[in-house]
Amino acid sequence: MPKYGKKQIEAQSKVDRLNRYTFQEAARLVVDLAHAKFDESVDIAVKLGVDPRHADQMVRGTCSLPHGTGNVVRVAVFAKGEKEKEALEAGADVAGGDDLVEKVQGGFLGFDKAVATPDMMGVVGRLGKILGPRGLMPNAKLGTVTFDVAQAVRELKAGKIDFRVEKSGIVHAPMGKVSFGLDKLMENVAAFFDVIQRLKPATAKGAYIKTICLSSTMGPGVRIDPALVKDLRELNA
């Protein structure tokens, strides 16, 4: 059985696992019960009433969090000529064409997100086995295959996240840091659920959002009443 420290046991004792909290109550608990010496990340897990085995029930998208994630995002851009220069000026950590592709083939993976111009995808496609399993492959549906590389870089640097429902029907996503405080975390959560709601598949039957759990890196999970998602709309109004 896993062994828990005194602080973790104390934190868990303050969360009623049978209760379904409001979003504000859950966020406040997560912030108050964070006990690590570092600035813990705050993550959300949402169980959706979809069957990802069916293509028409796949939930996948992006969300620009108002306050970002609090993490430093390293961005690589596969582009040539002026687009390469444009990407670097926008803040890309590394950019290049065939030379960058060769560098990645040689083992370089010093980036968290990748963007590519459409004309580079024929070459970048060779990196599928390397980038695909790591979730780094540029994707037009996620806005990372585009000629507007400057905008894509700025959005990723500012905290644009992408998410995809897992086989179990759960979506995981970062919502920020404990140091953000209640208000900023709530605004990020509201923006995330606005996107989740808009992505509801037409073929999904029954309850769409089944369970919600908010937690910090080292803290206990706090369950939230899914019926209260509608109240979040006021924050995005």
Domain holding 198, by residue range, is 15-69+160-236
pTM here is 0.85
- pLDDT at position 156 is 95
SS3 120: helix
Do 166 and 142 fall into the same domain? no
Q: How far apart are CA 7 and CA 80, in angstroms?
A: 52
Domain boundary among 121, 141, 158: 158
SS3 98: helix
Assigned domain for 144 exists: yes
Q: How far apart are CA 27 and CA 128, in angstroms?
A: 38
Confidence band for 204, pLDDT divided at 50, 70 and 90: confident
Domain boundary among 143, 158, 173: 158
Report the CATH number at residue 205. Answer: 3.30.190.20
Give mean pLDDT, residues 109-138: 95
Total residues belonging to the chain = 237
Which two three-digit tokens encode residue 197? 């709601």
Tens of pLDDT, residues 17-76: 888 999 999 999 999 988 889 999 999 999 999 999 999 999 999 999 999 999 999 999
Q: How far apart are CA 16 and CA 45, in angstroms?
A: 18
- pLDDT at position 166 is 94
Q: How far apart are CA 228 and CA 230, in angstroms?
A: 5
Q: How far apart are CA 43 and CA 221, in angstroms?
A: 9
Q: How far apart are CA 172 and CA 132, in angstroms?
A: 18
